[in-house]
């Protein structure tokens, strides 16, 4: 294989199996980084296949996937080109726009920030074309009644699609009547906190270290939080029992941020604690779709359905901007949650619910997830290799799943200071100390989902230099 002048593509770096995914990822990255700009014409499929030594079918399928995502479009007489994606006019260099649209000068010497602080997905892979097709189909087939006020519990079509999705992907057998559609996981947890507070439950335990967003939500609604340490098996259930809390928020499939999976023994202990103490477990199933070493870990919910509130969303498969999630609650909480949902805002917008139902039922969502797993696995591998090269000897946790890694730093290093210095170098990274209540080893969270391998490698090289200094 000789290679192609187009994007300097080197086919020798493509796996023997998976060439379509490799080519698709290379083109997608070039579009995301504006190496290929809107309107740029791509080589004919036969021409590019010959240059790379691939079958023409591989190139055709790669172009098809990117067209499906809305990144490419085919114009009669012009071939395949990068799609135009209209947006607001670019701000002048050295300016930013405030909430009223006025430009204000900013420091032009401040470096652009590469944000590797979050486990976020690659939003350039949003399935634009598939979404538009589903939206057109929904608008063409929706009845007049569908455009009225909907059931505050959620549109039946979406709840039925989610019930099937949960059965296939999470091992949960729940009827559509048990699912409540919410404004993402944040909306689900907030809704639950309000109902619990109405019932006099104003304290909750949570994992330490744990997600700062969840901690802030609980702290807003409730009076007291009980941080419970996490070890190699997950949350310490004995410490939970000693806390006196009657509710706990956990991330059992892939603990955030450590990546620990709640062990079978701890699962049994946790559900036993809930039964013995009349307690409630809130299962945040925030990223169960992304596992790279095996099938996704089964949800905790089936082990004690009347003791567990299961909350999740598709923010990391579709996009956070969708603001749609769901919850499955014990029978004794369900009606109060639906009533509170109605009293808050009458429920989620109808049309996005119908579009999402279409994407799930048609199989688009599962194809999207398979594509994202391939891409994110490659980026994870890049991040691991860069850490091993530039931060030698630093243990890496959380490799098997999700969209971030945790790098443990040598004893005595101030991880918050490293994060602050990295910011000055144009890199946003999260210090582990910012997610802990109790003291723990220093570390950094490195999110790899949205970034090209080149950008990841360069960012991690910079972190290695800062730590060595």
- Of the pLDDT bands very low, low, confident and very high (cuts 50, 70, 90), residue 19 is confident
396 - beta bridge partners?
407
Specify the length of the chain in residues: 469
The residue among 454, 463, 394 whose CA lies nearest residue 427 is 463
Q: Is residue 291 in a domain? A: yes
Helix axes 350-361, 364-390, angle to 10 degrees: 80
The DSSP line for 33-96 is TTSS-TTPBPPPHHHHHHHHT--HHHHHHHHHHHHHTTSEEEETTTEEEEPP---SPPPPTTEE
> Is the domain of 138 the same as that of 220?
yes
Rounded average pLDDT over 279-302: 84
Distance between alpha carbon 333 and the CA centroid of its chain, in Å? 28
Q: What is the pLDDT of residue 60?
A: 86
Confirm if 48 and 59 have CB atoms less than 8 A apart: yes
Interatomic CA distance for residues 316 and 364, integer angstroms: 15
pLDDT (tens digit per residue) in 418-436: 999 999 899 999 999 999 9
Q: Which residues of 403-415 are buried (b: 16+ CB within 10 A; e: fewer)?
A: bbbbbbbeeebeb
Phi, psi angles (nearest 5°) of residue 65: -60, -45
If DSSP codes are grouped into helix, strand and coil, which group holds residue 380?
A: helix
Phi, psi angles (nearest 5°) of residue 168: -75, -45
pLDDT at 444 over 80: yes
> Is the domain of 281 the same as that of 407?
no
Interatomic CA distance for residues 332 and 436, integer angstroms: 33
What's the CATH number where 199 sits? 3.40.640.10
> Is the domain of 266 the same as that of 340?
yes
pLDDT at 25 over 90: no
> Is the domain of 133 the same as that of 49?
no
pLDDT (tens digit per residue) in 355-402: 999 999 999 998 988 888 888 889 999 999 999 999 999 999 988 877
> Is the domain of 40 the same as that of 139?
no
Q: Is residue 5 in a domain? A: no
447 - beta bridge partners?
404
> Is the domain of 411 the same as that of 340?
no
The residue among 202, 153, 197 whose CA lies nearest residue 178 is 153
The residue among 325, 309, 338, 355 whose CA lies nearest residue 152 is 338
Q: Is residue 109 in a domain? A: no
Interatomic CA distance for residues 393 and 151, integer angstroms: 55
Domain count, the chain: 3
The 3 state secondary structure assigned to 169-205 is HHCCCCCHHHEEEECHHHHHHHHHHHHHHHCCCCEEE
Q: What share of the chain is helix, strand, coil (3-state, %, to 5)?
A: 45, 15, 40
Interatomic CA distance for residues 315 and 362, integer angstroms: 19
Q: What is the pLDDT of residue 18?
A: 78
Q: What is the pLDDT of residue 363?
A: 92
Confirm if 360 and 130 have CB atoms less than 8 A apart: no
> Is the domain of 462 the same as that of 443?
yes
Query: 345, 363, 381: which is the final residue of a domain?
Result: 363
What's the CATH number where 52 sits? 1.10.10.10
Q: Is residue 97 in a domain? A: no
> Is the domain of 214 the same as that of 257?
yes
User: Which tokens go with 343?
Assistant: 């009293």
Q: Which domain holds residue 334?
A: 127-363
Q: Is residue 6 in a domain? A: no
Interatomic CA distance for residues 63 and 73, integer angstroms: 9
Q: Is residue 280 in a domain? A: yes
CA-based Rg of the chain, rounded to a whole angstrom? 24
pLDDT (tens digit per residue) in 169-206: 899 999 999 999 999 999 999 999 999 999 999 999 99
What's the CATH number where 400 sits? 3.90.1150.10
Q: Is residue 3 in a domain? A: no
81 - beta bridge partners?
41, 73
Q: Which one has a higher pLDDT value, 122 or 221?
A: 221
* Distances, alpha carbon 256 to alpha carbons 241, 285, 409, in Å: 21, 10, 18
Rounded average pLDDT over 101-122: 59
End-to-end CA distance of the chain: 43
> Is the domain of 231 the same as that of 289?
yes
The residue among 361, 377, 467 whose CA lies nearest residue 414 is 467
Confirm if 442 and 433 have CB atoms less than 8 A apart: yes
Rounded average pLDDT over 88-104: 36
pLDDT (tens digit per residue) in 35-76: 898 889 999 888 898 889 888 888 888 888 888 788 898 876
Query: 312, 341, 363: which is the final residue of a domain?
Result: 363
- For the entire predicted model, the pTM comes to 0.76
Confirm if 403 and 121 have CB atoms less than 8 A apart: yes
> Is the domain of 459 the same as that of 407?
yes
User: Which tokens go with 69?
Assistant: 């995502």
Phi, psi angles (nearest 5°) of residue 283: -95, 105
Distance between alpha carbon 446 and the CA centroid of its chain, in Å? 14
- Of the pLDDT bands very low, low, confident and very high (cuts 50, 70, 90), residue 12 is confident
> Is the domain of 199 the same as that of 326?
yes
Confirm if 299 and 273 have CB atoms less than 8 A apart: no
Q: Is residue 11 in a domain? A: no
> Is the domain of 374 the same as that of 315?
no
Interatomic CA distance for residues 4 and 102, integer angstroms: 45
The residue among 429, 459, 448, 435 whose CA lies nearest residue 257 is 435
């Amino acid at each position: 294989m000789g290679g192609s002048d187009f994007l300097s593509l080197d086919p020798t770096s493509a796996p023997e199996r998976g060439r379509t995914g490799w080519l698709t990822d290379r083109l997608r990255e070039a579009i995301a980084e504006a190496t290929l700009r809107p309107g740029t014409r791509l080589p004919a499929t036969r021409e590019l296949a010959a240059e790379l030594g691939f079958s023409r079918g591989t190139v055709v399928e790669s172009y098809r996937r990117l067209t499906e995502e809305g990144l490419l479009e085919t114009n009669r007489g012009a071939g395949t080109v990068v799609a135009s994606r209209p947006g607001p006019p670019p701000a002048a260099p050295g300016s930013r726009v405030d909430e009223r649209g006025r430009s204000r000068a900013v420091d032009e010497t401040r470096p652009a920030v590469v944000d590797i602080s979050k486990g976020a997905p690659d939003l350039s892979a949003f399935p634009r074309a598939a979404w538009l097709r589903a939206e057109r189909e929904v608008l063409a087939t929706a009845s007049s009644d569908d455009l009225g006020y909907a059931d505050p519990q959620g549109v039946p079509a979406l709840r039925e699609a989610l019930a099937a999705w949960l059965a296939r992907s999470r091992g949960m057998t729940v009827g559509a009547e048990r699912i409540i559609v919410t404004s993402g996981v944040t909306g689900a947890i907030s809704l639950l906190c309000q109902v619990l507070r109405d019932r006099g439950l104003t304290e909750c335990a949570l994992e330490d270290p744990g997600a700062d967003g969840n901690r802030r939500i609980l702290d807003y609604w409730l009076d007291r939080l009980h941080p419970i340490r996490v070890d190699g098996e997950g949350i310490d259930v004995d410490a939970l029992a000693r806390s006196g809390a009657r509710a706990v928020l956990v991330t059992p499939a892939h603990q955030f941020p450590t990546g620990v999976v709640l062990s079978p023994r701890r699962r049994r202990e946790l559900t036993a604690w809930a039964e013995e103490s009349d307690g409630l477990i809130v299962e945040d199933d925030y990223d169960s779709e992304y596992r790279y070493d095996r099938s996704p870990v089964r949800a905790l919910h089936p082990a004690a359905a009347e003791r567990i509130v299961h909350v999740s969303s598709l923010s990391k498969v579709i996009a956070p901007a969708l603001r749609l999630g769901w919850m499955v609650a014990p029978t004794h909480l369900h009606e109060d949650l639906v009533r509170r949902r109605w009293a808050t805002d009458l429920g989620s917008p109808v049309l996005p619910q119908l579009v999402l139902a279409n994407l799930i039922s048609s199989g688009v969502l599962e194809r999207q997830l398979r594509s994202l797993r391939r891409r994110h696995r490659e980026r994870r591998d890049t991040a691991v290799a860069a850490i091993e090269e530039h931060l030698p000897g630093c243990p890496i946790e959380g490799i098997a799943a999700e969209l971030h890694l945790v790098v443990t730093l040598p004893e005595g290093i101030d991880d918050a200071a490293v994060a602050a210095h990295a910011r000055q170098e144009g890199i946003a990274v999260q210090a582990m100390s910012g997610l802990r209540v109790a003291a723990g080893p220093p570390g950094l969270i490195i999110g790899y989902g949205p970034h090209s391998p080149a950008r990841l490698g360069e960012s991690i090289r910079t972190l290695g230099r800062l730590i060595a200094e």
